[in-house]
C-alpha cells in the first residue's frame, strides 16, 4: 500500500448523486473523482445494488432530455433525438465482495497527475459508471447534442452466475432497450480499446468414495484423496494462447473451490473440485465442454455455469471508427479482453461491441484496486468527443 499523501476521497454522505453529477458535468475533469467516490461508497456487492440503482435513477430522471426506464435494479436512460443511428453504452453497477479488512470507503492517494482513487469498484467497474453518469447527464442538453442517439444502461448482477445478469434479463424481457448499431462496455481497459472477450465455463469434477469411521479408515475409501489426480492434472495443465482476428487471447484453467467431508471423524465419501475454464472466443461452449471432459477423462464432470466469448469485432466499420478515434487520443493498439464481459451478450444480439473504460484490468477484484484520476477525464473526454462527432476520426 502507498504510504504518502493519503486522504479521504472528496465525497458526500448518502447516495444522492444529483449534485455530484451536476458538478462532474459543469466542472473540470477532476470533479469526476467526487462522483466516483460516491458511487463506490454506495456499496453494491452483487445482489445488493438497489440503493445505488435508486440513486442513479433519481439523478438521470432529473434530466429532461432522457427517457428513464427501470427494470429490477437495472436503469436505462435514452435520448430520442431522431438520429440515424443509436449507440449503446453499458456498465454494471455491482462489485465483488469487499476485502478483509474492507477496502471501502474510498480514499484519494497522491496529487495531480499521480493521484489515484483506491477502493472496491474503482476499477471494476465504477470508474466507467461514473464516466457514463456524467456524459448521460451532459449529452443531450442544448448545445451538447450527440451525433447519434445514445442508450445508457446501468445494470446489476454481472459478477455472479450468468442467469442472474441484469443485461441478460433485459435481453430476454426488453430487447428493444438494447437495440443499437454499436455498443461500448465501460469495463476497465486502461483507457485503451480491448476487443472481444474470453468465454467462461465452470464445472464440478466429482469423486466418490465409501464413508467410514476415521479410526477404521481401511473399511472405507477417501473421496478427497481420490481427487488428487484432478489437482495434478490442473497443476500440469499448460494454458493455450490463441490468435483470433489478429488479437492473442490467453486461456486459463484453475481450481476455484474444493469441498468434501461431513465431520472430523468420518472418511468422506464425496468430494467436489470446482474448476473455471477461461477459453478463447474461437471456441464454442460445446467445444469448451468437450475439452474439459477430455482433460478430466475418467471423472464425473458437470457444467454449472457457462457464457460464450466474443470475437474482437473490430472489422465492423463503427467499431473501427471508434477504436481509431480513441486510440488517436490515448495511444497504443487494440488488445484482447482476457476476462468475460457483456460484449459477448451484445454479440449474441447482433450488435458489435468493444470494451473501453478507465482502470487497469489487472487490478480488477484485487484488494489494492485503484484507478488513476487522469484516466477518468481521459475516458470521459474521448467518449464525449466521439459521441459529439468532434473526435479525430471525424463525424460520429
* 3-state secondary structure labels for all residues of 308-373: CCECCCCCCHHHHHHHHHHHHHHCCCCEECCCCCCHHHHHHCCCCEEECCCCCHHHCCCCCCEEEH
User: Which pLDDT score is estimated for 162?
Assistant: 86
User: Which pLDDT belongs to residue 131?
Assistant: 97
Instruction: Assess whether pLDDT exceeds 60 at residue 391.
Output: no
pLDDT at residue 27 tops 70: no
Cis preceding linkage at 105, omega within 30: yes
| 153-154-155 Cα angle (round to 5) | 110
Say which CATH topology domain 6-196+310-388 has: Aminopeptidase (3.40.630)
Provide the grid cell at 339: 476476462
Query: Residue 29: is the preceding peptide bond cis (ω within 30°)?
Result: no
pLDDT of residue 394: 40
Mean pLDDT along residues 84-95: 97
pLDDT digits over 313-345, tens only?
899 999 999 999 999 888 889 999 998 999 999
Q: How far, in Å, CA of 166 to CA of 356, rounded?
A: 20
Half-sphere exposure of 368 toward its Cβ, with a 13 Å CA cutoff? 6
**Alpha-carbon distances of 106 from 7, 18, 37, 133, rounded to whole Å:** 9, 19, 6, 19
pLDDT digits (tens, 9 = 90+) for 124-143: 999 999 999 999 999 999 99
Which own/partner contact pairs does 99-105 have at CB distance under 8 Å and 24+ positions apart? 99/367, 103/367, 103/368, 103/369, 104/40, 104/41, 104/43, 105/8, 105/9, 105/11, 105/37, 105/40, 105/41
pTM for the whole thing? 0.86
Residue 2 has pLDDT above 70, yes or no: no
**Domain 199-307: which CATH class?**
alpha beta
- As annotated, the active-site residues are 94, 158
Instruction: Judge whether residue 3 has pLDDT over 60.
Output: no
pLDDT value of position 49? 96
Q: What three-state secondary structure class fits 1? A: coil
Q: How high is the pLDDT of residue 261? A: 96
- Structural domain boundaries of the chain? 6-196+310-388, 199-307
- Res 57 pLDDT > 50: yes
In this structure, the number of other CB atoms found within 10 A of the CB of residue 85 comes to 12
Reported confidence tier of residue 113, pLDDT bands at 50, 70, 90: confident
The pLDDT value recorded for residue 17 is 87
Across residues 356-364, what is the average pLDDT?
96
Q: Does 31 score more than 90 pLDDT? A: no
Euclidean distance between CA atoms 280 and 236, whole angstroms: 20
Amino acid at each position: 500500500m502507498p504510504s504518502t499523501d493519503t486522504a479521504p476521497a472528496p465525497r458526500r454522505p448518502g447516495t444522492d448523486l444529483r449534485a455530484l453529477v451536476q458538478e462532474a458535468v459543469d466542472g473540470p475533469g477532476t470533479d469526476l473523482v467526487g462522483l466516483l467516490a460516491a458511487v463506490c461508497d454506495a456499496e453494491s456487492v452483487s445482489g445488493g445494488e438497489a440503493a445505488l440503482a435508486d440513486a442513479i435513477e433519481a439523478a438521470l430522471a432529473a434530466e429532461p432530455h432522457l427517457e428513464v426506464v427501470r427494470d429490477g435494479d437495472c436503469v436505462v436512460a435514452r435520448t430520442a433525438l431522431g438520429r440515424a443511428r443509436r449507440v449503446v453504452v453499458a456498465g454494471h453497477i455491482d462489485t465483488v465482495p469487499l476485502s478483509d479488512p474492507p477496502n471501502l470507503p474510498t480514499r484519494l492517494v497522491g496529487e495531480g497527475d499521480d493521484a489515484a482513487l483506491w477502493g472496491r469498484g474503482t476499477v471494476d467497474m465504477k470508474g466507467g459508471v461514473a464516466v457514463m453518469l456524467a456524459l448521460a447527464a451532459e449529452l443531450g442538453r442544448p448545445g451538447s447534442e450527440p451525433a447519434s442517439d445514445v442508450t445508457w444502461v446501468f445494470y446489476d448482477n454481472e459478477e455472479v452466475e450468468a442467469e442472474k445478469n441484469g443485461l441478460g434479463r433485459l435481453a430476454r424481457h426488453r430487447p428493444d432497450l438494447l437495440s443499437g448499431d454499436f455498443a461500448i462496455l465501460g469495463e476497465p481497459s486502461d483507457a485503451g480499446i480491448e476487443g472481444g472477450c474470453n468465454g467462461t465455463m465452470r464445472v464440478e469434477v466429482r469423486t466418490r468414495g465409501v464413508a467410514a469411521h476415521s479410526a477404521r479408515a481401511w473399511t472405507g475409501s477417501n473421496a478427497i484423496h481420490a481427487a488428487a489426480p484432478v489437482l495434478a492434472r490442473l497443476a500440469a495443465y499448460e494454458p493455450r494462447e490463441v490468435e483470433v482476428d489478429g488479437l492473442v487471447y490467453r486461456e486459463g484453467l484453475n481450481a476455484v473451490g474444493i469441498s468434501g467431508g461431513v465431520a472430523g471423524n468420518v472418511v468422506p465419501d464425496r468430494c467436489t473440485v470446482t474448476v473455471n475454464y477461461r477459453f478463447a472466443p474461437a471456441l464454442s461452449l460445446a467445444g469448451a465442454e468437450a475439452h474439459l471432459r477430455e482433460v478430466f477423462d475418467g471423472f464425473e464432470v458437470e457444467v454449472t455455469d457457462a457464457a460464450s466469448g466474443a470475437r474482437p469485432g473490430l472489422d465492423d466499420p463503427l467499431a473501427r471508427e471508434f477504436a481509431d478515434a480513441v486510440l488517436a487520443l490515448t495511444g497504443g493498439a487494440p488488445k484482447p479482453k482476457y476476462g468475460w464481459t457483456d460484449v459477448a451478450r451484445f454479440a449474441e444480439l447482433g450488435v458489435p461491441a468493444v470494451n473501453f473504460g478507465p482502470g487497469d484490468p489487472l487490478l480488477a477484484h484485487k484488494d489494492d484496486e485503484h484507478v488513476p484520476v487522469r484516466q477518468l477525464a481521459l475516458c470521459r473526454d474521448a467518449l464525449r468527443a466521439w459521441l459529439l462527432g468532434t473526435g479525430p476520426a471525424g463525424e460520429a
